[in-house]
Structure 1
Amino acid sequence: MSTSPERSNKTTPSKKKNRHSHTASLPDTFQSQQALKNAVFLKMRLLHNSASASASASETEPEPEPESESDSQTHHHLPPRRHSSTGPDFSSRLSDELLLNVFSKLPKTQLISNSTVCKRWCRLNGKLVRAIRVFDWDFIKSGRVIFRFPNLIDVDIVQSCVKCCRNSGILLSNKLVSVHLDSARVSGEGFLKKGDFLDSQEVDRGVRILAEGCGNLRRVVLINVSEVGLNCVAEECETLQEMELHNCDDFALKAVSGCKNLQILRLIGCVDGFYESVISDIGLTILAQGCRRLVKLELVGCEGSYDGIKAMGQCCVMLEELTLCDHRMDGGWLSALSYCGNLKTLKLQSCKSIDVSPGPDEHLGSCSTLEELHLQKCQLWDKPGVRALFLVCEAVRELVFEDCWGLDSNTFAATSICRNIRFLSLEGCSLLTTEGLESIVLSWKQLTRLRVVSCNNIKDSEITPELATLFSVFKELKWRPDSRSLLSSGLAGTGVGQGGRSFGFK
């Protein structure tokens, strides 16, 4: 009789333990809840806390009796009980599709932290990554980049192909490339030498791995790749739309012409201190004959002349935007722009000259479809070349000058050829005076938007009533020629800005 209470005391904890285990059962919990799509992580946290409480209770309770057949069937599919502090992995019950749907709703910055949770989450988060910049060449050569990120559409491998000291405290950066430098290797020949790049054959092998593993690539940034590697890209990546090539020569462009759907191309030829490759009329002609669907073309440090630009204009009839950065074009190239029958935007950046020998005015022609002309950090001391540029671009509607050297009142007077200007932006033009600005602006009858920033020779005190009246009808005006500008108070009561939608002094 004395053993009966003891037996009953032993069976009572067993039932309690089974009740806790059943409460922590994931199927029962999920079947009774319908907030999975909005609170899946909250549900996992609640289940985890319940399982932890059950595990702590089991440490003080006696060993439970064997489960009945029905209990065994109920818990048959559950993972074995874990006694670690982390608790069971309830996310293993969620399908890959469901987890991917949840991860896709999270900020992109959280993908990295999610990838460190477990191997499965790492694999799933890798499927959501679309664009990467590779710094370690072994990551490409081993094929891990394909396994880790199978759905890539944008890949940049430039920095992984440059042999540099990653632990160096010297970082040289510009808008084209960033490299770590070893002070012992820097010489008068430049920051990067030929031996500082991976061999073209090695780069070709890595590019082949990328092209075969990521057939849906839409954008690639490559360096020191030869015709062999680019041929593989053209064959495997039929959806490729944008390409950026560093340190390549004319003959590599023969393979680029095989990319039939290519629309945006950026060629970086010679960059002082970095690259010394040559892209000339030969490469531009080859490119024009193959890439007939180009919409945007940017040439950085490229050589060429009238023939190369003419070939691009005649063959690439869809070309709408042309950018020349630090060009090495021969004299007379400006007249070839007239063959670009659909050109809408022309940008000249960091050019030491516009055209050293533009030729007679009657041979220049004009771009009748041109809408925007941007001059950024260019040297405008060569007045014949500047004048020839505005003759070719006389139909332009938007004119932008930014930090251009040599833009004085006489040079700016050449813009009077352009009669259809509607928007003018001047920034960092310290030689231009108020008189020089007024003489041209008053002649533009269609001008409705004006932006003047950091032009120290343009003074508030020199504004005439005619110019103030013109300001009053502008739709947009940003006037900050210098830090001491008092135009907002000096023109109080004149009605300036009342006729436009947007007017501000900053």
Structure 2
Amino acid sequence: MRGHDLINAILPDELILEILCRLDSYKSSCDACSLVCKRWLKLERASRRTVRIGASGNPDAFVKLMIQRFAAVCNVYIDERLPISSPFPSTYPLGHGMPRTATRKSRSCKRIRGSSSKLHCAVESSGSEESDIEPFSLSDAGLTALAEGCARLEKLSLIWCSNVTSVGLRSIAENCKALKSLDLQGCYVGDQGLAAVGECCKQLEDLNLRFCEGLTDAGLTELAIGCGKSLKVLGVAACAKITDLSLEAVGSHCTSLQTLSLDSEFIKNKGVLVVARGCPALKALKLQCINVTDEALLAVGTYCLSLELLALDSFQRFTDRSLCAIGNGCKKLTNLTLSDCYFLSDKSLEAIATGCTELKHLEVNGCHNIGTSGLESIGRSCPALSELALLYCQRIGNNALFEVGRGCSLLQALHLVDCSSIGDDAICNIAQGCRNLKKLHIRRCYEIGDKGIIAVGKNCKFLTDLSLRFCDRVGDDALIAIGQGCSLQLLNVSGCNKIGDAGLTAIARGCPRLVYLDVSVLQNLGDIALAEIGDGCPLLKDIVLSHCRQITDVGLSHLVKRCTQLESCHMVYCPFVTAAGVATVVSSCVNLKRVLVEKWKVSQRTRRRAGSVLAYLCVDL
């Protein structure tokens, strides 16, 4: 009833808090609720559990403000890779980071991500270059303030916070004993801080140590001893001083470990052997360790009987013996990724197919000795296969996909990249046998043309995501069949030069739910197609038009007339698109977040009006 606030008059604080807590993962909804009234703002702040922060301005002071406003926060994500925002929108529009030299000589501001409002921290610079760099990075003082103000902290992510040391991490450990997840990617913390976490945080379950160059075996060993009973997920990458010694400690103490990710040239067989024997609950293992050989993976196949995911990358020193052991022992394996494993052959896939019949995801990337017969075995023995990716597999031919089409009716996603021996006949068999296909991505497979894609359009009615990049033989007939048979949401036909207005017109008329479209490098595409897309696809959010030499300002005006939800538009190297066309796009789409265009095509008026969304391919030197 107009003039009466029934919600605030009837609903108690406890009920509104309960509603807001359920919205915590939807930041935009929380922000909207906080704008209703002062009461809702106060309640929303009291219920906000998750906050994401960059590292511009003065992060230390900003953390203190965040703690004051959000008393219930327990998940904090700080990422110093986020762009630096400027406090001077008239000179440097938001979205274009002000040069650090300019920012250092002024007051700087900071926007908290996850806040119901913008918080600004003004910090006077000291004048010297060396001291002025400091305010842009979170320091131990800021981390200490976070520790003292958020005693209930459960998840902490510090991405590339290079100024944080063991002092700050020790504060977190001593004050936040309920910590369950800690991400230290790119942080130069030392052994003392990690040891403190092991000593105090007995509930720690998830630890990421990627690119933590300051750590040695001593720190990881102490943590493994302290958190051995609780730790379930561990990631280590590019830590030159972490070797088999600390990995042995992980295997000896972390008996509940379920996920292990290792990327190191210093880890050899011994550490992986101890983990395999000591962690029977291991479910996911990702290895990029060039010095690990068959011996380690034989142990994985023998002891890790609960293994569900295995990813092997750049292995040069192991053979089919390893995969045979995995196939014999890991019967629960559902996800297998093999990248640049040059000494694996068809025998490996045959062993996996025979032993791991529950396999759902398979990716073979650059394994040049794996051919048709190995994948045929997968098609015959793994009926649950739902996603298949074949990248740079020159020896895999049509017969392999014949068997997949015949035996894997549940397949929903197929990725093919640079598979020169796979052609239309294979795609026809997939289309006829895998009618539940939802995603089809093909790139630079020059033997695939209209025939195969037409079969997909006729048989795969659930297809929503189609990418055909640089497939020279695919033309309008293929897209006409897709438009008549499928309701796409995402389409990428970049570089398919035989596609023109007729094919895109069919898509526009048959796929009204389209939200993403990439038609870059289509030389025959003109304004007619853009007009049809504008009329038929009102939900479109992202479009890539770069290198389309036939489109003009007229086509753009038709496109944006009804595609009012457009958020992103790339249109570089379109010679007949002028400053007027760019202005039309910017003025018509209120939700626009990014426009990629040549700088010289942007007028001063457009730059003033929408500088924050403009991105330039070419900038002044």
Q: TM-score, with normalisation over the residues of structure 2?
A: 0.49
Change (3 A) 1:306 1:396: farther
CA displacement at 1:368 relative to structure 2 = 1.4
Are 1:265 and 2:362 an aligned pair?
A: yes
Q: 1-side partners of 2:172 and 2:264: how far apart? A: 39
Distance apart, 1:207 and its partner CA: 1.2
Are 2:443 and 1:349 aligned? yes
- Establish whether residue 231 from structure 1 lines up as the match of residue 327 from structure 2: no
Q: Does 1:289 align with 2:289?
A: no
Distance 1:107 1:333, change over 3 A: closer
| Paired letter, 2:358 | N
CA contact (8 A) 1:140 1:210 kept: no
Using the TM superposition, name which of 326-335 and 36-45 deviates more.
36-45
> Aligned in 2, Cα 1:214/1:470: closer, same or farther, shift over 3 Å?
same
Q: What whole-Å deviation, never above 9, does each CA across 1:196-219 have from its counterpart, x for those lacking one?
A: xxxxxx944331122334444332
Please tell me whether the aligned partners of residues 432 and 455 of structure 2 are also in contact (alpha carbons under 8 angstroms): no
Name the CA distance, whole Å, in 2 between partners of 1:390 and 1:249. Answer: 40
Of residues 361, 364, 370, the one that matches 2:463 is: 370
Cα separation, partners in 2 of 1:317 and 1:332, compared to 1, 3 Å: closer
2:350 to 233, 242, 254: 254
Counting only pairs closer than 5 Å after superposition, residues 96-245 of structure 1 correspond to structure 2 as 99=200, 101=202, 103-104=204-205, 108=209, 113=215, 116-117=218-219, 119-124=221-226, 127=231, 128-129=233-234, 130-136=259-265, 139-140=268-269, 143=272, 146=275, 150=279, 152-160=282-290, 203-222=293-312, 223=315, 228-245=321-338
SS in 2 for 1:329: coil
Measured against aligned partners, the alpha-carbon deviations of 1:340-359 in whole angstroms (never above 9, x if no partner) come to 1211000112333424x938
- Structure 1 residues 487 and 259: CA distance shift in structure 2, 3 A: farther
Aligned to 1:12: none
How far is 1:392 from its partner? Answer: 5.8
User: Cα offset for 1:102?
Assistant: 5.4
Contact kept, 8 Å, 2:301 with 2:326, in 1: the verdict is yes
Alignment partner of 1:260: what SS? coil
Q: SS of 1:262's equivalent?
A: coil
User: Given the superposition, is the C-alpha separation of residues 395 and 131 from structure 1 closer, same or farther in structure 2, using an over 3 Å criterion?
Assistant: same
Task: Report the residue type matching 2:359 in the other structure.
Answer: L
For 1:455, the equivalent position in structure 2 comes to: 547
Determine whether 1:299 maps to 2:395: no
Secondary structure of residue in 1 paired with 2:290 = helix
Provide the C-alpha distance between the structure 1 equivalents of 2:151 and 2:504, rounded to a whole number of angstroms.
Answer: 64
Q: Hey, what's the Cα distance between the residues in 1 that align with 2:283 and 2:495?
A: 40
Residues in 1 aligned to 2:481 and 2:327: alpha-carbon distance in whole angstroms: 39
**Aligned equivalents of 1:216 and 1:279: distance in 2?**
28
| CA shift for structure 1 position 299 | 1.2
Which AA in structure 1 matches 2:285? V
Q: Aligned-pair distance for 1:323? A: 0.6
Report the 3-state secondary structure (helix = DSSP H, G, I; strand = E; otherwise coil) of the residue aligned with 2:388. strand
Contact 1:260 1:292 in 2 (8 A): yes
Q: Which residue of 2 aligns with 1:318?
A: 410
CA distance in structure 1 between the partners assigned to 2:553 and 2:466 by the alignment: 30
Q: Deviations over 1:296-349 (max 9, x none)?
A: 110123355554324323322221111111112144223212321211000112
Alpha-carbon shift at residue 456 of structure 1 (Å)? 5.2
Which residue of 2 is the match for residue 13 of structure 1?
none
1:160 aligned counterpart, secondary structure: coil
3-state SS of 2:363 partner: strand
In 1, the alpha carbon distance for the partners of 2:492 and 2:172 equals 58
* Residue pair 2:427, 2:453 contacting (<8 A) in 1 also: no
Q: Distance in 2 between matches of 1:481 and 1:413?
A: 21
1:475 is aligned with what amino acid?
Q
Separation in 2, partners of 1:363, 1:347: 12
Point out where structure 1 has 5 or more consecutive residues left out of the alignment: 1-34, 47-88, 162-201
State the AA in 2 paired with 1:209. Answer: A
SS in 2 for 1:358: helix
Q: Using the alignment, how far apart are the partners of 2:371 and 2:480 within structure 1? A: 27
Aligned counterpart, 2:131: none
Within 1, Cα distance between the matches of 2:425 and 2:471?
18
Alignment partners' CA distance in 2, 1:481 and 1:363: 30
Partner Cα separation in structure 1 for residue 453 and residue 464 of structure 2:
24
Counterpart of 2:502 (choices 413, 417, 431) is: 413
User: What's the secondary structure of 2:544's corresponding residue?
Assistant: strand
- Residue 244 of structure 1 aligns to a residue whose secondary structure is strand
Please tell me whether the aligned partners of residues 557 and 581 of structure 2 are also in contact (alpha carbons under 8 angstroms): no
SS in 2 for 1:333: helix
Superposition deviation, residue 452 in structure 1? 2.6
Amino acid at match of 2:502: A
Helix, strand or coil for the counterpart of 1:332? Answer: helix
- Give the SS at the match of 2:492: strand
Aligned equivalent of 1:475: 565
Deviations 1:114-136 (A, max 9, x none): 85348443544675523323444
% identical equivalent positions: 15
Instruction: Give the letter for the 1:252 counterpart.
Output: S
Say if 1:293 and 1:318, in contact at 8 Å, map to a contact too. Answer: yes
What is the CA–CA distance in structure 1 between the aligned matches of 2:289 and 2:173, rounded to whole Å? 41
C-alpha distance in 2 between matches for 1:463 and 1:417: 17
Q: Is the 8 A contact 1:140 1:209 kept in 2?
A: no
User: For 1:100 and 1:367, how far apart are their aligned partners in 2?
Assistant: 51
Contact kept? 1:239, 1:261, Cα under 8 Å: yes
3-state SS, counterpart of residue 116 of structure 1: helix
Corresponding residue number in structure 2 for 1:329 = 422
SS in 2 for 1:276: coil
Distance 1:112 1:375, change over 3 A: farther
Q: Give secondary structure in 2 for the equivalent of 1:352.
A: coil
- Indicate the RMSD between aligned Cα atoms, in angstroms: 4.7
Give 2:468's aligned amino acid.
Answer: L
The residue identity in structure 1 corresponding to 2:334 is Q
Verify the 8 A CA contact 2:516 2:543 in the aligned structure 1: yes
Are the equivalent residues in 2 in contact too, given 1:285–1:312 (CA < 8 A)? yes
Cα contact 2:523–2:549 (8 A) shared by 1: yes
| 1:340–1:367 CA contact under 8 A, matched in 2 | yes
Q: Does the aligned pair in 2 maintain the 1:423–1:449 contact within 8 Å? A: yes
d(CA) in 1 for partners of 2:169, 2:560: 63
Q: Which amino acid aligns with 1:316?
A: C
Partner of 1:491: 584
Seen in structure 2, the aligned counterparts of structure 1 residues 310 and 147 have a Cα distance that, compared at 3 Å, is: closer
